[in-house]
Amino acid sequence: MELSERHPSTCHHPEPGDSQLNTSKQRQRDDRTGTAVAKGTGGGLPAWLVARGLIPETSPKRAFAGATFVNQIGKGLFIAGAALFFTRSVGLPVSQVGFALGAAALIGLAAGIPVGRLADRRGPREVFRLSVVVQALAVAGLVFVHSFLSLIAFVCVVELATSAGTAARGPLTRTLGAPNPTRYRSYLRALNNIAVGCGALAAGVAVQLDTRTAYVSLILGTAAMFLVSAALASRVPSVSPIEAPAEGSRWPALKDKPYVALTALDGVMTIQNQVLIFALPLWIITHTDAPRWFVGASVAINTALVVCLQVRVSRGVDNNTAAGRVARRAGAAFLLATALIAAAGGAPGWVAMVIIVLGVIVHTLGELWHAAAAFELSFGLAPEHAQGQYSGLFAIGQGLSNAVGPPLLGLLCIGWGKPGWLVVGALLLVVGQVIPLVVSWSDRTHARVPG
């Protein structure tokens, strides 16, 4: 059953602005947001940028894109500089910092489902803004950290707020992006890759200076980015909650067996995110004759392809069936990519570089297909009235994957060598083949239990 059959209230909005970029500004009432949305952008530079897919076609979409872009700059700052701030500036041991960050990330996952339910009842925009403000205040509080206990306290609040913002951001993205939210989400993903890169580059300045003032400035700059993000989100129209069925469960996500299975499967497939940023650099340095600088080049190739191709690859992924097919394709791509990367082991330097480039390209295609399929299914298989709650559950699988991925890949790909790479590829292939079966299972289940 296609998404348009499952959720007619989100799939029958006409896409604004696609064929009316040069018309006079018209407005229509959006029945989900209750806010007038511009159908055109007028002429000049905005229309030119919209026509080339560089900016979204409506003001609400652009406002939310701006809010998430600034938010992700803050994320890039934090990822690149937080650990060094705690060790170099605060003076805490690496073991304590690693434990605190890992434990906080796991604790943060617990906020996803209850905050998602709150977003369903109170509106995702309001919950998103509040979460980002709390995140900003908690990050700013890190400058007062002087002990392990205070570190645990603050980073737990940071991660809880981050998880809450993710749960609220999902349904907001889907509503604003209707009738093709996967395309809009793909645009945001490409934009966010640029933002995280910008944040990481900015953090490099503080790391290079390596002073207390520089690190404090980095932390406060991160908090400032989150506050700006919250301010920009105020320009996004509020989304009216959808009334839940009176006879329904308060926690339908936890009782939806096909969706729980999808969450687990996607969590396994999300391990692929760690392949290029964790396993491949170690493989290049320890098992190939490729030069060390090629580690950065391989990541740059991946980033450039994601930015350039994410929107294009997501075209046509607009229903559950199509998303299942794309997930199957992603699994096959991951197997081929891991086989190529494994083949680079022991090869002459220039040969290894060529093989790795091919592996990175194929892996990136799989990553793009996986991202498009995961987003479409995460909402396409969820009931309309509980999008936030289901989004929070789905994020748990991805969060656990980020915790399990590095040690698992270290054991298989680096510890076992070439056979380990093939095991990882085979695992991702199998998961990709099973996901369409779960989609069919979910369709049958929801067909028997309406709403």
Q: What pLDDT, on the 0 to 100 scale, is given for residue 8?
A: 35
Q: What pLDDT, on the 0 to 100 scale, is given for residue 49?
A: 66
What token pair was written down for 162?
Answer: 């981050």
Q: What pLDDT, on the 0 to 100 scale, is given for residue 285?
A: 87
**Burial per residue of 424-449, b for 16 or more beta-carbon CB atoms within 10 angstroms, e otherwise:** bbebbbebbebbbebbebbbeebeee
Sequence-ordered list of residues with C-beta below 8 angstroms from that of 213, at least 6 positions apart, any chain: none
Helix (H, G, I), strand (E, B) or coil at 325: helix
CA distances from 202 to 143, 164, 199 (A): 18, 26, 5
What token pair was written down for 438?
Answer: 């779960």
Q: What pLDDT, on the 0 to 100 scale, is given for residue 43?
A: 59
The separation between CA 449 and the C-alpha centre of its own chain, rounded to angstroms, equals: 30
* Contact assessment for residue 224 and residue 73, using Cβ atoms and an 8 Å cutoff: no
Q: What pLDDT, on the 0 to 100 scale, is given for residue 37?
A: 39
CA dist., res. 133 & res. 135, Å (int): 5
* Contact assessment for residue 205 and residue 68, using Cβ atoms and an 8 Å cutoff: no
Q: What pLDDT, on the 0 to 100 scale, is given for residue 237?
A: 87
At the fourth CATH level, the homologous superfamily of domain 58-234 is MFS general substrate transporter like domains (1.20.1250.20)
Q: What pLDDT, on the 0 to 100 scale, is given for residue 25?
A: 35
pTM: 0.75
Q: What is the DSSP letter of 179?
A: T
Q: What pLDDT, on the 0 to 100 scale, is given for residue 142?
A: 95
Q: What pLDDT, on the 0 to 100 scale, is given for residue 419?
A: 95
Q: What pLDDT, on the 0 to 100 scale, is given for residue 246?
A: 66
Q: What pLDDT, on the 0 to 100 scale, is given for residue 178?
A: 76
Q: What pLDDT, on the 0 to 100 scale, is given for residue 6?
A: 35
Q: What pLDDT, on the 0 to 100 scale, is given for residue 83?
A: 86
Domain boundaries in the chain?
Answer: 58-234, 252-447
Q: What pLDDT, on the 0 to 100 scale, is given for residue 32?
A: 40
Q: What pLDDT, on the 0 to 100 scale, is given for residue 145?
A: 93
Q: What is the DSSP letter of 275?
A: I
CA dist., res. 79 & res. 225, Å (int): 14
Whether domain 252-447 has CATH 1.20.1250.20: yes
CA distances from 379 to 116, 171, 296, 425 (A): 13, 8, 35, 27
- Give me the residues of the chain with pLDDT under 50, please: 1-40, 450-451
Q: How many CA atoms lie within 13 A of 222 on its CB side?
A: 30
Instruction: Tell me whether the CATH fold assigned to 58-234 matches the one assigned to 252-447.
Output: yes
Q: How many CA atoms lie within 13 A of 53 on its CB side?
A: 15
